[in-house]
Amino acid sequence: FRNEAQNMIDGRVYWRPQKGIFPIYAADMFETTSDVLVMERASEKPIDKFHTNDLPLKNEALETFLEIWYDEALFGSGFFHGDLHAGNIFFNPTPLPGYAPYGRDYQLTLIDFGSCGRLDKKEKKAIITLILGSTAKNSALVVRAFKALTPMTSGQEEKFKAGLEDIYAKGTDPSETCNLIVNKAIEMEFGLPKNFILFNRGRAFLENQIRDTTKELDK
């Protein structure tokens, strides 16, 4: 709990009231101990509970947070919330009194900072290279990204490249292509850093949420 309380302090990099993003804070009037942590109450409900008329604001909130999350992890301090799922992102399409003047018509609140990470320079570079390689379907870039993080024999490299070609042939969008590539690397038991795995799990969740919400809006 003490670690989580410190993560909440580090998580203040997400405090962007002008963009409707509000990470949860520990309640200052209570002492945090190894087995007691008191925090603020999150507004409204988990983000997957909102549909129909709330979809446009929900999509805007998710896209805004994804941009902030990416920016801080890859181009800032390296810090990132590492346990992103629907239950840890609360959404209020009607901001609480006192929050509305900040300029957004919604309030997105992050909770559960128990699992967070901080990318180092090498990990940042590898993830950016992976994203660029996945988007361009460039096997050389993708292999470079993974070789920067884990040793790879020539045999593993050839097998991985063959797997990449199979993935490209599926014709999936860049986000899903990236997911499949990371899954392939895990399947091949590459020794990937924990932060790399956590970051890509969070990236996949946010991008999938935005994709699914967009599909729902298009119906």
Name the DSSP letter for residue 14.
G
pLDDT digits (tens, 9 = 90+) for 104-113: 788 999 999 9
Q: Please, what's the b/e burial string for 118-145 (b: 16 or more CB within 10 A of its CB; e: otherwise)?
A: ebeeebbbbbebbbebbeebebebbbeb
Among 95, 86, 94, 111, which Cα is nearest to 8's?
111
CA distances from 33 to 36, 37, 115, 116, 164 (A): 5, 7, 17, 19, 48
pLDDT digits (tens, 9 = 90+) for 173-212: 999 999 999 999 999 999 999 999 999 999 999 999 999 9
Q: Would you state the pLDDT for residue 199?
A: 96
Q: Would you state the pLDDT for residue 100?
A: 59
Q: Would you state the pLDDT for residue 98?
A: 67
Q: Residue 46 forms beta bridges with which residues? A: 90
What is this structure's pTM? 0.89
Q: Read off the pLDDT of each residue in 79-100 and give the average, rounded to a whole number.
A: 86
Q: Would you state the pLDDT for residue 41?
A: 87
Contacts of 113 (CB under 8 A, 6+ apart): 4, 7, 8, 11, 23, 24, 81
Question: Could you tell me the maximum CA-CA distance found in the chain, to the nearest angstrom?
Answer: 61
- Could you tell me the two tokens for 177? 């292509």
pLDDT digits (tens, 9 = 90+) for 137-167: 999 999 999 999 999 999 999 999 999 999 9
pLDDT digits (tens, 9 = 90+) for 12-38: 999 998 899 989 888 878 888 889 999
Q: Is the pLDDT of residue 133 over 60?
A: yes
Give the Cα-Cα-Cα angle 66, 49, 45 (nearest 5 degrees). Answer: 80
- Rounded (10°) angle between helices 139-147 and 154-169: 130
